[in-house]
Amino acid sequence: MAFLLPNLQPYLQSQSKCKSKSNDNPLHQTLSQPKPTSHFLASSTSPVSSSPLATLQTSTSQQQLPKDEFYVNLGLAVRTLREDMPMIFIKDLNYDIYRDDITFLDPLNTFTGIEKYKLIFWALRFHGKLLFHEISLDVYRVWQPSKNVILIRWNLKGVPRVPWEAKGEFQGTSKYKLDKNGKIYEHKVDNLAFNFPQNIKPVSVLDLITSCPANPNPTFLWGYVDIYSSSWIILYYIYI
């Protein structure tokens, strides 16, 4: 026994060293105890790429919005003008379809600003009731020669408050220009023409007016009438 113990001790120490080395071996740890992988973490940390189709659809929808707004306001403008013009001597206009810096033009006058524009039509209603026994405006045609332009051909008929009550007509064209949002920024009155009867007393200023049909061209060579025939409200001045 005394002989075996000294010889057994080195053997036991060598066995213990082998076990400790096997425990420290990384390959042994990997084979014996595999580590679990987290798929959730990998999926959560991966970058999310946006679809090119979704980006294209968003860009297209953003470009479509101004076009939709233009056509909505264009339809509203046409409908409002159809309703307002025949009632121009009865009630005020709907000014929602106009810009605040709207410009009104005829061959003799130019006014800028919504307040002046309102004043023009207030003056028309006032003088229409004051100077005419009967007055009305008929819309002959509404059309669009281009995308941003509305043209209206109208005819004004009136019976002035004078003893002979001579009925007269006053024809013209209103041209409305629209901006990219479908709002009216310019109103131009053109192609104005008088059409009065010939059986007027010689002493009347109406004798200066030659009966003439409406001219589709913006040129008028009527002698004395050239001084008076171009203004939007000159029809009322004749009877003052």
* DSSP assignment letter at 233: T
Assess if residue 45 is contained within a domain. Answer: no
Gap between the Cα atoms of 97 and 182, Å rounded: 8
pTM: 0.58
Assess if residue 5 is contained within a domain. Answer: no
Assess if residue 201 is contained within a domain. Answer: yes
Assess if residue 79 is contained within a domain. Answer: yes
Assess if residue 13 is contained within a domain. Answer: no
Q: What is the pLDDT of residue 161?
A: 83
Assess if residue 132 is contained within a domain. Answer: yes
Gap between the Cα atoms of 148 and 185, Å rounded: 11
* DSSP assignment letter at 38: -
Assess if residue 73 is contained within a domain. Answer: yes
Gap between the Cα atoms of 66 and 141, Å rounded: 28
Assess if residue 44 is contained within a domain. Answer: no
Gap between the Cα atoms of 108 and 230, Å rounded: 7
For residue 141, the enclosing domain spans 62-237
Q: In CATH, what number is assigned to the domain containing residue 167?
A: 3.10.450.50
pLDDT higher at 97 or 192: 97
pLDDT higher at 123 or 220: 123
Average pLDDT over residues 162-179: 85
Q: What is the pLDDT of residue 76?
A: 96
- β-pairing, 184-195 vs 110-112, is unpaired
The domain total for the chain is 1
Rounded to 10 degrees, what is the CA torsion of 63, 64, 70, 73?
-140
